[in-house]
Structure 1
Amino acid sequence: MPSKTLVSLAVLLAILVTIVEGGLSSTGTHNYDLSKIADLRKLYNSKVFVADRMKRPLDGMPVAFGALSHSGVRVTLADGSQWLVHKGDSFGKASNTVVVDARHMSSNWKIIETKDFTGTKTVSDFVKAGGTDYSLIFDNCHDGAERMMDQ
């Protein structure tokens, strides 16, 4: 039976190497920013210093209007790098909450709330707070983003 660490790494790998579409960039495809297990483990365990809850219009809509929008949380790490943690239906294989390099975010994303976590949480904590499952009514991107900010 695989250890919990190996299972966690496998889940993380599945999360991070998922192509996430919609609002990230205009190309639709990306070179993966991280491909080595050591890099993925380092990101997963990295401390989050600032988190921005963000919102953008749904694909094909000109503006974000309440629940008719997409939410996520952009985290800033000690090294200044920024990553978007967000969830959606079929975004990932092992989890519907995924982590992508914030450099791929479109300019349509707007900050809704900012919170200083002072390194007390990790990227892993944000992924876990986002949740593995997705439900449009009961556990959507807005619910996941709120849980991430409330931890």
Structure 2
Amino acid sequence: MSFKSGSGNFSFDISTKSGLTALYNTPVYEADRVQRAMGGMPEIGPLSHTGVRVTLKDGSQWLIHKGPRFGKSSETVVVDAKHMSSDWKVIETKDFQGSKKVADFVEAGGSNYNIIFDNCHLGSRRMMDQK
């Protein structure tokens, strides 16, 4: 699923429900917590944006992150990593060995966004902290 960040205009890398269901049920082998500066601001702690880039068995990579108005039914969305700019930097890596699925990361991210109590940083940490 792809989107135009925060704009409410949505386009999709996966256009069928069966394709999205298949992606959500796919095991994750590696996850990188990634960070980038927020539009024109310096990359300083909370003045940045974080998410988790997952790698699947077939080598494909997907960015899972959250933000206000990012998605329709959930503020945590899955985007093909080909849409990521070179501004994203890896800040943590974890080997999940297929023990978690994409859906587990979306669920850990949380469906609602709150700048103080449930923001991108808290969501990406919960994704990485899964056992």
* Global fold match (TM > 0.5): yes
**Partner secondary structure for residue 122 of structure 2:** helix
2:114 aligned partner: 135
User: 1:59-70 residue pairs with structure 2 within 5 A?
Assistant: 59-61=39-41, 63-70=42-49
Distance 2:12 2:80 in 1: 9
Which runs of no fewer than 5 residues in structure 1 stay unpaired?
1-15, 23-28
- Residues paired across the two proteins, number: 128
User: 1:110-129 residue pairs with structure 2 within 5 A?
Assistant: 110-129=89-108
Displacement after TM superposition at 1:20 (Å): 3.4
**Paired letter, 2:29:** F
* 8 Å Cα contact 2:4-2:11 kept in structure 1: no
User: 1:47-62 residue pairs with structure 2 within 5 A?
Assistant: 47-61=27-41
Relative to 1, partners in 2 of residues 1:116 and 1:54: Cα closer, same or farther, differing over 3 Å? same
Matched, 1:34 2:9: no
Distance 2:75 2:35 in 1: 17
2:78 aligned partner: 99
% identical equivalent positions = 60
Displacement after TM superposition at 1:32 (Å): 2.8
Deviations 1:77-97 (A, max 9, x none): 011000000000111121100
Structure with max Cα Rg: 1
2:64 aligned partner: 85
**Paired letter, 1:37:** K
Matched, 1:46 2:26: yes
**Paired letter, 1:105:** M
Deviates more, 1:80-89 or 1:36-45: 36-45
Distance 1:30 1:41 in 2: 18
- Misfit runs of 4+, over 2 Å: 29-32
Which runs of no fewer than 5 residues in structure 2 stay unpaired?
none
Displacement after TM superposition at 1:30 (Å): 8.4
Higher share in helix: 1
Displacement after TM superposition at 1:34 (Å): 1.1
